[in-house]
Amino acid sequence: MTGSRAEYGLLRWILSDLRAAVDVDLQLVVTGMHLSPEFGGTVGEIERDGFSITRRVDSLLSSGTPGGIAKSIGLGVIGMSDVLEDLKPDIVLILGDRFEIFAAAQACLVHNIPIAHIAGGDTTEGAIDEAMRHAITKMAHVHFVTNAESAHRVRQLGEDPSRIYEVGSPGLDHLRRQPLLDRSAVESRLGARLGEKNLLITFHPVTLEAAHGEAQFAALLDALDMLDDDTALWFTHPNADAGGRTMAAKLKAWVQAHPNRARLYTSLGQSLYLSLMAQVDAVVGNSSSGLYEAPSLGVATVDIGDRQRGRLAATSVLHCAPDCNAIREAIARAIQLDCSGTKSPYGDGHSSERIVEVLRALPPAMELIGKRFHMIGNADA
């Protein structure tokens, strides 16, 4: 199941390998932002990649308020329940911590269908995703974690160590398996020329700091206003979390007021996004891609605020407070930072093969459903 552009980008090669496996019947369920024209209708990207979509679950309300998100979760549970009754899968593979995935996990739990969860045990202390991710871990039966620290957290939650697999981040697989576009091809796809200096910027709502989110976003825009005119700014759209639509409207107005140096894209698609990332001087904002993919491309990251607080970070990641001066100073440092040879803490780009190998060897569903709480000793706590 996939519900957002970012999460599909991580699933892309896993889905490809599952589709190629002769003993696997891949059923792909698409929901959330994928089906919304407001967020780029990214279901089209999935289809262009050659995947057949088995079911579509419309669940995303047009309201970006907390109440609207809560109702979208409810619609997701209802829609996914209907899908499970119809398809009767042996196992459901989900990734991450977004509310669409949280809804799917609840439906699977009630239907007694095993869940294989990717990226459990990660931590993002500035977002409600933190609680959703750990809740999904407790509903899941097989755990594909991105690093050793995350594996330890999943064990701390009482999960069976024999069902925890440290596989790395599947986001790095694309960098190994898909050639990136060169500079001229990137410019052609963007419909614009890259600048002398370039920043790739994504800033999502900080859901645990909703009262301060607008001020943090304003601080980012103020800092960008202070940069030299030869710095081109490439923005991608905020996500559908509470406050995202308000943020997107303000960003659109800001970009329109800076037509010579700023561009906003609803969705670039995984290939173009990573190809652009490889060309820029720094990634700026609070997206996980600045921690996952950017270090492997040798690109510096300015990670703003607390949304990603707690995640493992490479030496190329500069954390800064969400205020104008701190952001401006961090950007200046990032542009000068030599990130060649940076080592990612998230694996080697072979995550997809490891995940598919485990999935193909799993026992029948009824052997997975039963779970016991595994205590850990004080030495392992």
Query: pLDDT for 320-338, tens place per residue?
Result: 999 999 999 999 999 999 9
Residues 150 and 192 in one domain: no
- How many folded domains does the chain comprise? 2
Residues 219 and 158 in one domain: no
Q: Is residue 374 a part of any domain in this protein?
A: no
The 10 Å CB-count burial string (b at 16+, else e) for 143-160 is bbbbbebbbbbbbebebe
Q: Is residue 344 a part of any domain in this protein?
A: no
Q: Is residue 124 a part of any domain in this protein?
A: yes
Residues 137 and 195 in one domain: no
Q: Is residue 94 a part of any domain in this protein?
A: yes
Range of the domain at 157: 5-168+349-369
Q: Is residue 379 a part of any domain in this protein?
A: no
d(CA 305, CA 360): 40
Residues 112 and 208 in one domain: no
| pLDDT confidence bin for 232, thresholds 50/70/90 | very high
Cα–Cα–Cα angle for 97, 72, 251, rounded to 5 degrees: 75
What pLDDT is recorded for position 381?
A: 45
Q: Is residue 343 a part of any domain in this protein?
A: no
Residues 160 and 184 in one domain: no
**pLDDT per residue over 343-379, tens digit each?**
999 999 999 999 999 999 999 999 999 999 999 875 4
Residues 61 and 35 in one domain: yes
Mean pLDDT of 162-181: 94
What pLDDT is recorded for position 42?
A: 79
Q: Is residue 174 a part of any domain in this protein?
A: no
Residues 245 and 118 in one domain: no
Mean pLDDT of 182-207: 93
Residues 14 and 63 in one domain: yes
- What is the torsional sign of CA 68, 70, 74, 75? positive
Residues 231 and 148 in one domain: no
What pLDDT is recorded for position 239?
A: 76
Q: Edge-to-edge, what's the strand order for the sheet holding 300-304?
A: 262-265, 231-236, 197-202, 282-285, 300-304, 317-320
Higher pLDDT, 310 or 173: 173
Residues 75 and 210 in one domain: no
What pLDDT is recorded for position 242?
A: 65
**Domain CATH code at residue 310:** 3.40.50.2000
Q: Is residue 173 a part of any domain in this protein?
A: no
Residues 93 and 130 in one domain: yes
Residues 121 and 32 in one domain: yes
Q: Within 10 A of 45 (CB to CB), how many other CB atoms are there?
A: 21
